[in-house]
Amino acid sequence: MFDDLNILVTGGTGSFGRKFTEIMLREYSPRRLVIFSRGELKQHEMRQIFPDTGNSPVRYFIGDVRDKERLYRAFNKVDVVIHAAALKQVPACEYNPFEAIQTNIIGAKNVIDAAIDRGVKTVMAISTDKAVNPINLYGATKLCAEKMFVQANAYSGVEGPKFSVCRYGNVVGSRGSVMPLFKKQRECGTVTVTDPRMTRFWITLNRGVRFVMQCTEDMHGGEIFVPKIPSSKIMDLTQAMAPGCAVNYIGIRGGEKLHEVLVSEDEARHAVVLDDKYVIMPTHPWWKVENWAGSTRMEEGSSYSSDSNEEWLSVEELRRLGEGEE
């Protein structure tokens, strides 16, 4: 799908964008690969790895998703947009709620408008498990963004772009991940744990990017894609990252859940199951919705939660992930 196409990634200098660029340049032949982000320093650093000179298809655009006019310019002749730009730190979003709304909600609207008006063919937005039954502002903004991207298909019409969403859990080693924190804390012999009952979903950056790429190829428009990924118990994680260290229980923090959910019980009523993923179908499709061959309906009353997952990471598997071994 990606060969000879013009592809743009918002938030392209983040961990997702860097890995996406690496895989895209190694395994595909895009006509242009546009890295759209607001940070000139991060673009300069990324340019040292992926130069934009000679025959390179890479292009760097400084811009903010809050700026609709800049998006209109950047989306000129673009075929595929991967929307990864967001404010993601839960405490920062709580302390700066207007800023989170401007980027995660208004920015999403600007991406949708620019994609429709500039004739983009395919748009895939990246979401998070925090968007399911949200209890913090970050999750609430991502829930709004999900709704907007799904229903954007009602605005684009038959000939307009197709919009879908990929939603997954914690990315191993990403900004804010607890794994690097535990590795740092083990140097002083004590790790901090909020609650020993806690469980989390985990996905490697490589798998997350490849999941997004595959779903972008397969999407019909209006779906929320959820990968089948393993869970871990927080105490197994401490044993893997900081064996033999003392544990200081500090209590669950505001805006944090004991367990994460990727498909809620309410969403399960209109979700289908495939070998490697769940596909949540749109609830209000004013456009033609395609069936997914080989899928089965998700069981009534079920959900996909980190504490009731069928796949669990062992202590040794967690250790390998934490040390960067996939």
Crossing angle of helices 15-27 and 205-218, rounded to 10°: 60
Tokens of 200: 């989390």
Among candidates 147, 78, 67, 138, which has minimal Cα distance to 107?
Answer: 67
Q: Which of 80, 100, 317, 315 is nearest to 213 (CA)?
A: 80
- Alpha carbons 80 and 120: distance in angstroms, whole number: 6
Give the residue among 188, 197, 172 at the shortest CA–CA distance from 242. Answer: 188
The torsion defined by the Cα of 164, 167, 171 and 175, in degrees rounded to 10, comes to 80
Alpha-helix runs per DSSP H in 83-233: 90-95, 97-101, 107-117, 137-156, 178-185, 205-218
Look at the block and give the residue holding tokens 């033609």: 288
Identity of residue 266: D
Q: Which H, E and C letters describe 138-155, residue by residue?
A: HHHHHHHHHHHHHHHHHH
Query: Of the residues 130, 162, 233, 277, which is catalytic?
Result: 130
Closest to 32 in 3D by CA, of 58, 61, 1, 12: 58
Q: In this structure, which amino acid lies at residue 215?
A: C
CA distance 150 to 127: 12
Within 10 angstroms of residue 201's Cβ, the number of other Cβ atoms is 25
Give catalytic status of residue 233 as yes or no. Answer: no
- Angstrom distance (rounded) from CA 110 to CA 112: 5
User: How many angstroms separate the CA atoms of 170 and 26, rounded?
Assistant: 25
Residues involved in catalysis: 130
